């Protein structure tokens, strides 16, 4: 069974992409909805042999909990095999269901399912859907579970980012979930391409000028085929805003009431992306069916901005010529973060057991077996162990070194995430593919976004 779990999890990683359910919903998780899954036989063995959930007593065998995940079901069999460990320890069965949609649509479907009488007990929700999820009023706070299990809760909270913990609180300070997994955004480098250009990995505080110098040196021709320096973050809501953060910009203000996508600082970054393609020729024109991660593996591009999710593809392709560094500091170095967590429903007929399951999934026993080469475990100690033991990419400590601090600024994720992300991705496409005027395009995007965000005032 342990070998079967390993094979299923690695296969899942090869198929799944980012931390969102679909391309562009990429905060976490992350991830795809349910967080990227891969593990080692040793992980499964450890999780089977070492349990933190005690036998819960009589009549638990009659309880079946339903866990909702966002995704196409690629990881269902692997997840179910891992959840059997929980059944073995508690007697409680767990059935998983997968909803293939964006995070915003996922939350709406969950609400519809509950309103229609479907019995749901737990659900994974990434930052892209958390504001909407809390606004719907279907989630149950876990403050009572924390009070009853203070030692376990303190261990989780002490080992995760305070910035991520805040995301799972409502305006009254009630807590709805623990951080499960997350992603940041860093620059990935094909180190063979660096070596060919006689370049070292840049320093962590590298500037726009240094970045453009690297782009010039890394744009070459080999065997009559042009090799580019970088891929712009096309179709990547999460990754694109990471560039904006490093220039003091963002898609919207912090209370999600007004768009700032057309600020001078934001315009500067969007203009840079367009210039990288059409003015300098440092980046290829984005194409729908061309994967930038495939391009960095093949050497067609030398740099790309992502979180940890490409690691699964690197492993699958035996690609080790890769290193990471922070994004260039255009005016500052501000790390972005996207996180997910396991929520429980106040409509659950077994709410106490549902909270126990959500808490178990948030601890190292389950997370250590489920998370390896995709998302970053939210538990700092687990992230350090899993990522450092894998050994790639070079400088991989950037994925976890700050993961128990408040350094991360969450990606912009209003309750109207689906609508706003569509506006952003359309603007990126117009600017980077159709060469649209940057200022005019972003002014129009801001106007459209403001009409949506007005309901948050």
pLDDT tens column, 187-220: 999 999 999 999 999 999 999 999 999 999 999 9
Predicted confidence at residue 8, as pLDDT, reads 42
277, pLDDT greater than 70: yes
Predicted confidence at residue 51, as pLDDT, reads 43
Burial status of residue 150 (CB atoms within 10 A of its CB: 0-12, 13-18, 19 or more):
exposed
For a pLDDT cut of 90, what percent of the chain falls above it?
Answer: 76
Q: 271: closest CA among 421, 436, 411?
A: 436
Looking at residue 63, the DSSP 8-state letter turns out to be: -
Predicted confidence at residue 252, as pLDDT, reads 98
Neighbouring CB atoms inside 10 A of 48's CB total 18
SS3 label, residue 329: strand
Whether 376 and 132 have beta carbons less than 8 Å apart is answered as no
- Tell me the pLDDT band of 27, cut-offs 50, 70 and 90: low
Mean pLDDT of 239-267: 98
Q: What structural domains does the chain harbor?
A: 2-183+338-399 (3.40.190.10), 186-334 (3.40.190.10)
29, pLDDT greater than 70: no
Looking at residue 187, the DSSP 8-state letter turns out to be: E
The Cα–Cα gap between 327 and 236 comes to: 15
SS3 label, residue 312: helix
Mean pLDDT of 43-58: 46
Q: What angle do CA 282, 409, 142 make, to 5 degrees?
A: 140
Q: DSSP H helical segments within 137-200, as ranges? A: 143-148, 150-158, 162-167, 191-196
Predicted confidence at residue 28, as pLDDT, reads 58
- Tell me the pLDDT band of 21, cut-offs 50, 70 and 90: low
Residue 168 phi/psi, 5-degree rounding, is -95, 15
The Cα–Cα gap between 130 and 112 comes to: 16
Tokens of 361: 């999934």
Stated as kind and residue range, the H or E segment containing 192 is: helix 191-196
30, pLDDT greater than 80: no
45, pLDDT greater than 60: no
- Tell me the pLDDT band of 346, cut-offs 50, 70 and 90: very high
pLDDT, tens digit (0-9, with 9 covering 90-100), for 75-86: 899 899 999 999
Neighbouring CB atoms inside 10 A of 175's CB total 18
Q: Mean pLDDT check: name the lowest of 96-110, 326-340, 372-386.
A: 96-110
Predicted confidence at residue 60, as pLDDT, reads 75
Predicted confidence at residue 69, as pLDDT, reads 92
Q: 233: closest CA among 246, 224, 242?
A: 242
420, pLDDT greater than 60: yes
Which single residue is written with the structure tokens 């036989």?
Answer: 41
């Amino acid at each position: 069974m342990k070998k079967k779990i390993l094979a299923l999890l690695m296969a899942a990683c090869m198929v799944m992409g980012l931390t969102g359910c679909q391309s562009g919903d990429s905060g976490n998780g992350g991830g795809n909805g349910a967080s990227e899954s891969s593990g080692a036989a040793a992980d499964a063995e450890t999780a089977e042999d070492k349990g933190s959930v005690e036998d819960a007593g009589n009549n638990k065998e009659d309880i079946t909990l339903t866990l909702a995940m966002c995704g196409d079901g690629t990881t269902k069999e692997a997840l179910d095999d891992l959840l059997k460990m929980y059944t073995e320890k508690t007697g409680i069965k767990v059935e998983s269901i997968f909803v293939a949609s964006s995070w915003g649509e996922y939350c709406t479907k969950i609400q519809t399912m509950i309103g229609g009488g479907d019995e749901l007990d737990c659900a994974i929700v990434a930052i892209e859907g958390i504001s909407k999820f809390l606004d719907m009023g279907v989630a149950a706070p876990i403050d009572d579970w924390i009070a009853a299990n203070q030692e376990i809760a303190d261990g989780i909270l002490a080992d995760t980012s305070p910035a991520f913990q805040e995301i799972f609180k409502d305006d009254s300070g009630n807590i709805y979930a623990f951080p499960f997994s997350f992603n940041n955004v860093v620059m990935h480098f094909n180190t063979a391409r660096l070596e060919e250009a006689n370049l070292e990995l840049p320093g962590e505080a590298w500037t726009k000028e240094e970045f453009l110098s690297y782009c010039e040196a890394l744009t070459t021709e080999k065997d009559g085929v042009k090799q580019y320096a970088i891929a712009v973050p096309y179709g990547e809501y999460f990754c694109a805003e990471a560039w904006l953060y490093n220039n003091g910009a963002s898609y919207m203000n912090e209370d999600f009431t007004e768009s700032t996508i057309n600020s001078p600082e934001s315009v500067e970054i969007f203009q840079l992306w367009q210039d990288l393609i059409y003015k300098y020729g440092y980046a290829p024109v984005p194409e729908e069916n061309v994967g930038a991660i495939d391009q960095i593996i093949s050497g067609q591009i030398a740099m790309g901005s992502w979180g940890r999710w490409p690691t699964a593809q690197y492993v699958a392709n035996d690609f080790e010529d890769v290193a990471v560094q922070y994004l260039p500091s255009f005016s500052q170095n501000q790390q972005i973060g996207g996180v997910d967590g396991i929520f429980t429903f106040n409509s659950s007929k077994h709410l106490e057991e549902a909270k126990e399951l959500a808490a178990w999934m948030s601890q190292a026993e389950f997370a250590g077996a489920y998370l390896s080469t995709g998302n970053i475990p939210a538990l700092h100690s687990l992230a350090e162990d899993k990522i450092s033991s894998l050994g790639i990419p070079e400088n991989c400590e950037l994925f976890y070194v700050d993961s128990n601090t408040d350094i991360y600024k969450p990606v912009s994720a209003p309750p109207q995430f689906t609508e706003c992300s569509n506006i952003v991705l359309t603007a990126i496409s117009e600017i980077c593919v159709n060469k649209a005027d940057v200022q005019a395009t972003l002014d129009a995007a801001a106007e459209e976004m403001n009409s949506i965000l007005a309901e948050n005032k």
